[in-house]
């Protein structure tokens, strides 16, 4: 039975009272009376409802950043969106993940560990094509026209795995003008960023564009424990290599697009893109040590460290750019994609077809403990994935525009494999402990097939609009898991040299086969009131669905499996959401968008520790509630001055939890900062008749828990970062300088707490970076 959200908390809160007060107060009247700014607020057209609408007339919580706004904030890939938008938390690294994996949380709902059997809760789309894996999903912004971030469940129009929201990337389309650009940027840490692009019309109906970018910088973190060229352990085939730096960048991205406007009512867009990445992982350092909570394994590991001459406390320090990793590793990726979109405008309706194909290969390795011993090291991880999708939409209106409608169908197929060699306990321990896997090689092979039909209609009656929609989804998953130790014999603790670098099925333990199918119908109901031409209020109820999966984590012990009932199936997540919001504009000077929301969140998929000393188990935690508020304000003050401010405030509570998960009932959900905010100010003026601008941004990320037990030792501190940028336009040339993290703030992007062995590991954020660039437009 589904439980509807309870709005009591919002009705009784000071947040609701504050919003009500702001609605009826009159301070904006003074602003409306002042002299109009020289620069009007930019009109933003979005496609969040599958058709083009004005941002201010779209009754959902959506943030949209255009290409010029992204550039002004020095946002070069989507990982920085979390710094600029309310209630959005973007973690690109967490434990055994690389910087190119998009771990996104929106309004407290998201995905922490992007294994191939654990789907994202925030869907990423590129020109309408769903991106199935978090790996390789940190897209560059070079070719983008705009980014749209939709907060809240999008289960009707966007479908599977949008239980938290969606990030929609809309690329620039080729046009009928010959234009181009070339740019270069240099900075500290040997930063060198090169980009170029050209738009070429072949005829009056066929246009093309090509863009290419290369980005590189040296590592922000250096290990003081790597021995260049030395092997990780005596007798092994895994060699550390000569590099000592982590958190560097080395990526090349290209895109070719072709547009054919065959007639006034038919257009065909085709695009191919590729990414080649060769860089080191983010890197982690020891952030905390304490007494292990597990009396057996935790004390054993800590004691064994001491016996080998290593003491946790010796590696605690305040230098966020140093760690003691024994192994630097690599994070290499090769990605390619094909998008084909056909739009046919008929007299009665419009037909749109979106076809997508993507392929991904990743090779990853890294030391995930930040310590000079092979304790938690991924020696090699190979992920391969390909996906094909097809969506058909029919859009139209009837009764002289009183009724707008949209219907369609969706099909998706994916295959992914993950071949991983990992050390959980890479030391010469006493004789093997029964039922425990130490160094091991795991192989996962998963197939996914998903289909859906959807429909949505809106009735316009004067200033009021009522919308009703639904989506019916079907999904099937099959997965094979095989696990063994590195040389293919019976799993044990003692490290041995791998017999072969690649997976050999015949040498491993019998495979486990998983299969499951799930279905869901996700509705949406909303009512909006266009109070005046530039003021909108809306209220909505929506539901979201995240796919079910399997409990298939690396090395799950027998006791841990028994603790959760020996069931490999993890049920789908569900979010039921009520949202009340407004979009106001005042005399082309102030734009203010806000929303209140209340969620009932059931069956959230989180990793838990049902048995001490066991690896984490993916399980359904239970039921939680989420309430919050968000606000975005744009103010074109006058005489070139402008201000942007955003605020997100959120509270979460785990209301019910299965005892096997050890979740803290009454506690908070992990990875959810209570407060996020950004404040940006800019000033535009002329220097010798050349347009010039300066901009400052302050970005605040509040403290957050990083485990479902709400361990204080695993709690991340809040932090704030200042960024500066100055730009001058010289006809065809543009020059700029920038400084990011001006005060060199020390903070962790992510924190991984392991209380059982008495450590917490942090992924440091980027230090102060600065540079200058030049661009030529033709």
- pLDDT at position 612: 55
Band (129; pLDDT cuts 50, 70, 90): very high
Identify the helix (H) or strand (E) that includes residue 725: strand 719-730
**Mapping DSSP to helix (H, G, I), strand (E, B) and coil, where does residue 75 land?**
coil
Residue 50 lies in a domain: yes
pLDDT at 644 over 90: yes
Cα separation, 601 vs 163, in Å, equals 9
- The H or E element that residue 71 is part of is helix 67-72
Give the integer Cα–Cα distance in Å for 705 and 606.
Answer: 13
326 confidence band (pLDDT: 50, 70, 90):
confident
The answer to whether the CB of 14 falls within 8 A of the CB of 22 is no
Contact between 677 and 630 under an 8 Å Cβ cutoff? The reply is no
The pLDDT score that the predictor gives to residue 297 is 58
For the ranges 174-183, 286-295, 414-423, 625-634, the lowest mean pLDDT is seen at 286-295
**Residue 15 pLDDT > 70, yes or no?**
no
396 and 468 in contact (C-beta within 8 Å)?
Answer: no
pLDDT digits (tens, 9 = 90+) for 500-523: 333 333 344 567 788 999 999 999
Mean pLDDT (whole number) for 362-373: 78
Angstrom distance (rounded) from CA 194 to CA 758: 44
DSSP assignment of 461-507, as one string? Answer: ETTEEEEEEEEEEEEEEEEEEEEE-TTSSS--SS----S-SS--GGG
Q: What is the pLDDT of residue 495?
A: 31
Q: Is residue 709 part of a domain?
A: no
The confidence score (pLDDT) of residue 353 equals 98
522-557 confidence digits (pLDDT tens)? 999 999 999 999 999 999 999 998 989 887 764 444
Full residue range of the structural domain in which residue 589 is found: 8-282+332-621
Among all chains, which residue has been given the structure tokens 């010289």? 730
Q: Please say whether the beta carbons of 109 and 577 come within 8 A.
A: no
> In the predicted model, what is the mean pLDDT of residues 642-656?
96
Q: To the nearest whole number, what is the mean pLDDT of the chain?
A: 83
| Better-scored residue on pLDDT, 439 or 276 | 276
Confidence of residue 448 (pLDDT cuts 50, 70, 90): very high
Is 491 a residue whose pLDDT tops 80?
no
If one counts the domains in the chain, the total is 1
The verdict on residue 376 lying in a domain is yes
In 531-587, where does DSSP find H-type helix?
558-563
Q: Are 409 and 435 in contact (CB under 8 A)?
A: no
Identify which has the larger pLDDT, 561 or 702.
702
The answer to whether residue 237 sits within a structural domain is yes
36-50, 199-213, 298-312, 716-730: segment of lowest average pLDDT: 298-312
pTM of the shown model: 0.88
In a domain, 306, yes or no: no
Whole-angstrom CA distances from 152 to 108, 161, 393, 724, 760 are 10, 12, 22, 31, 31
- The number of beta carbons lying within 10 Å of the beta carbon of residue 651 is 17
In a domain, 557, yes or no: yes
* pLDDT tens per residue across span 152-189: 999 899 988 999 999 999 999 999 999 999 999 999 99
Question: What CA–CA distance (Å, rounded) separates 515 from 513?
Answer: 7
Give the percent of the chain with pLDDT over 90. Answer: 57
pLDDT at 744 over 70: yes
Residue predicted with more confidence, 216 or 494: 216
Phi, psi of 121 (to 5 degrees): -100, -15
Does residue 746 fall inside a structural domain? no
- What is the pLDDT, as a whole number, of residue 23? 41
Structural domain includes residue 537: yes
The pLDDT tens digits for 61-78 are: 999 999 999 999 999 999
Q: Specify the CATH number for the domain of residue 260.
A: 2.40.170.20
- Position 257 confidence tier, pLDDT thresholds 50, 70, 90: very high
Query: pLDDT for 330-353, tens place per residue?
Result: 889 999 999 999 999 999 999 999
């Amino acid at each position: 039975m589904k439980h509807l959200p309870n709005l009591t908390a919002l009705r009784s809160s000071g947040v609701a009272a504050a919003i009500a007060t702001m609605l009826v107060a009159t301070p904006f009247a003074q602003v409306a009376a002042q002299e109009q700014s020289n620069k009007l607020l930019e009109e933003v057209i979005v496609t969040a409802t599958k058709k083009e609408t004005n941002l201010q007339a779209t009754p959902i919580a959506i943030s949209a950043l255009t290409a010029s706004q992204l550039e002004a904030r020095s946002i070069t890939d989507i990982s920085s969106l979390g710094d600029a938008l309310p209630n959005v938390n973007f973690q690109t690294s967490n434990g055994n993940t690389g910087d190119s994996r998009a771990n996104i949380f929106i309004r407290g709902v998201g995905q922490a560990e992007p294994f191939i059997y654990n789907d994202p809760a925030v869907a990423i789309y590129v020109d309408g094509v769903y991106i199935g894996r978090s790996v390789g999903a940190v897209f560059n912004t070079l070719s983008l026209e705009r980014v749209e971030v939709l907060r809240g469940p999008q289960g009707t129009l966007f479908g599977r795995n949008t239980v938290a929201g969606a990030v929609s990337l809309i690329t620039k389309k080729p046009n009928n003008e010959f234009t181009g650009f070339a740019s270069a940027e240099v900075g500290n840490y040997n930063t060198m960023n090169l980009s170029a692009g050209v738009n070429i019309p072949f005829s009056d109906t066929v246009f093309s564009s090509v863009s290419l970018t290369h980005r590189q910088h040296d590592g922000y973190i250096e290990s003081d424990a790597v021995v260049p060229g030395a092997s990780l352990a005596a007798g092994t085939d895994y060699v550390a290599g000569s590099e000592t730096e982590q958190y560097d960048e080395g990526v090349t991205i290209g895109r070719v697009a072709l547009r054919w406007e065959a007639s006034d009512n038919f257009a065909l867009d085709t695009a191919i893109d590729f990414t080649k990445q060769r860089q080191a992982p983010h890197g982690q350092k020891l952030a905390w040590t304490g007494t292990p909570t597990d009396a057996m394994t935790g004390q054993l590991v800590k004691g064994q460290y001491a016996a080998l001459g290593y003491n946790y406390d010796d590696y605690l320090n305040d230098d966020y750019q140093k760690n003691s990793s024994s192994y630097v590793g690599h994070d290499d990726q090769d990605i390619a994609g094909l998008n084909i979109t056909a739009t046919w405008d008929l007299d009665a309706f419009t037909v749109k077809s979106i076809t997508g194909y993507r392929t991904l290969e990743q090779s990853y390795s890294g030391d995930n403990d930040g310590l000079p011993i092979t304790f938690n090291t991924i020696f090699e991880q190979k992920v391969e994935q390909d996906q094909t999708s097809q969506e058909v939409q029919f859009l139209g209106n009837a009764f002289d525009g009183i009724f707008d409608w949209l219907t369609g169908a969706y099909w998706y197929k994916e295959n992914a494999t993950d071949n991983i060699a990992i050390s959980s306990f890479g030391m010469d321990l006493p004789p093997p402990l029964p039922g425990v896997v130490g160094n091991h090689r795991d192989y996962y092979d998963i197939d996914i097939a998903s289909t859906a039909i959807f429909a949505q209609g809106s009735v316009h009656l004067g200033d009021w609009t009522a919308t009703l929609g639904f989506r019916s989804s079907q999904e099937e998953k099959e997965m094979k898991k095989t696990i063994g130790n590195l040389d293919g014999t019976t799993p044990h603790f003692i490290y041995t040299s791998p017999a072969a670098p690649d997976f050999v099925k015949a040498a491993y333990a019998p495979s486990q086969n998983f299969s499951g199918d799930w279905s869901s119908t996700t509705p949406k109901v909303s009512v909006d009131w266009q109070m005046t031409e530039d003021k909108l209020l809306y209220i909505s109820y929506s539901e979201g669905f995240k796919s079910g999966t399997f409990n298939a984590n690396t090395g799950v012990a027998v006791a841990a499996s028994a603790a959760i009932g020996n069931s490999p199936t993890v049920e789908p997540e569900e979010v039921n959401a009520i949202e009340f919001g407004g979009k106001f504009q005042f005399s082309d000077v102030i734009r203010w968008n806000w929303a209140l929301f209340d969620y009932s969140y059931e069956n959230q998929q989180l990793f838990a520790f049902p048995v001490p000393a066991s690896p984490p188990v993916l399980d359904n935690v239970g039921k939680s509630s989420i309430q919050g508020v968000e606000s975005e304000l744009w103010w074109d003050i006058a005489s070139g001055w402008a201000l942007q401010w955003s605020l997100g405030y959120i509270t979460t509570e785990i209301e019910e939890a299965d005892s096997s998960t050890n979740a803290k009932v009454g506690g908070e959900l992990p990875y959810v900062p209570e407060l996020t905010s950004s404040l940006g100010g800019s000033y535009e003026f002329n220097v010798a008749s050349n347009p010039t601008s300066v901009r400052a941004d302050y970005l605040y990320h509040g403290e957050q828990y990083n485990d479902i037990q709400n361990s204080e030792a695993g709690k991340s501190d809040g932090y704030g970062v200042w960024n500066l940028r100055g730009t001058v336009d010289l006809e065809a040339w543009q020059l700029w300088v920038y400084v990011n993290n001006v005060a060199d703030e020390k903070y962790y992007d992510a924190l991984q707490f392991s209380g059982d062995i008495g450590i917490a590991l942090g992924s440091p954020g980027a230090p102060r970076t600065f540079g200058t660039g030049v661009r030529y437009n033709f």
